[in-house]
Amino acid sequence: MILITDGGSTKCDWIAIDKKGKQAADKIRTKGLNPAIIEEKKLRKTIRKNKELMALVSEVTHIFFYGAGCGTEKPRLLLKSVLEDYFPQSLVEVREDTYAAVRACINTKDEAAVVCIMGTGSNCSYFDGKQLHQRVDSLGYTLMDDASGNYFGKQLIRDYYFNKMPEVIKLAFEHKHNLDADFIKYNLYKQANPSAYLADHAEFMFLNKDSDYVVNLIKKGVRLFTENMILQFKEELKKGVPVHFAGSIAFFSKNEIEEVAKEYGFKVGNFVRRPIEGLVDYHVKNL
């Protein structure tokens, strides 16, 4: 049995397939397992406490884990070690989530493309058909992550407190979220996953897309992401390679992304909400 995992900061989706590519168990969802921001003790607890996952231990032969926070060696090896401890009979491969986006989005195995992630966090890479290229190391939600869920959550909270929201949007936001200052600060500075906490507020935008305020907020974030991330690959874009997008934020911002793409002159490719489905197809073809 093969386990394929799409691991974010907020949640992880696990799909088990047999060697013929058929799904061998119901999809499993756990809390996020970002090893760059979550301590080892909590990583272990999240895996250990999931009964459905633990029930598969003796059957799993391979684990392909694609995760946020796995782009640098130390956290990647930490998570690999944790998974190997719980699945001692399995060969474990841990890659950064960008590889999941690439494998889920590209139309053919050797297609060249710029691939973007817009989920809880955000990132952008160029895949030349064989290798992945990144020109800016991600420094996480505090300094980067433009147009991500945590970026938009932060902007919404800031606009609320700086009185930059239209009154009707402000009232709706108050109804949807606890905006008490002490509650916000507790979640940002004393809880384990502030990135996911901020990202939880982003859903509000997509429930209120009839508002010019929300549409402009989305476009502002996408423009920032374009200028800081996508346009790193100007020369590649001049060759006409598509720009693919993975993640819920991108999926629900499709119209705004397409409008910004026209402004900056790049070609939009595929939108994949959940890379896990595309990963299953990829691994079935490459078993």
pLDDT of residue 287: 63
Residue range(s) defining the domain that contains residue 61:
2-97+276-285
Indicate whether 38 belongs to any domain.
yes
More confident residue, 7 or 154: 154
Q: Tell me the pLDDT tens digit for each residue of 8-45.
A: 777 898 999 987 778 888 889 999 999 998 999 999 99
Beta strands 11-17 and 28-31: pairing type?
Answer: antiparallel
Task: Indicate the SS3 state at residue 124.
Answer: strand
Terminal CA-CA length for the chain: 11
Indicate whether 237 belongs to any domain.
no
Q: Mean of the pLDDT values across residues 248-269? A: 97
Q: Mean of the pLDDT values across residues 253-272? A: 97
Indicate whether 203 belongs to any domain.
no
What CATH number does the domain containing 25 carry? Answer: 3.30.420.40
Indicate whether 78 belongs to any domain.
yes
Task: Indicate the SS3 state at residue 111.
Answer: coil
Q: Tell me the pLDDT tens digit for each residue of 145-175.
A: 999 999 999 999 999 999 999 999 999 999 9
Indicate whether 230 belongs to any domain.
no
Residue type present at position 268: V
Query: How many domains, the chain?
Result: 1
Q: Tell me the pLDDT tens digit for each residue of 175-215.
A: 999 999 999 999 999 998 899 899 999 999 999 999 999 99
Query: pLDDT at residue 128 above 80?
Result: yes
Neighbours of 46 (CB within 10 A): 17
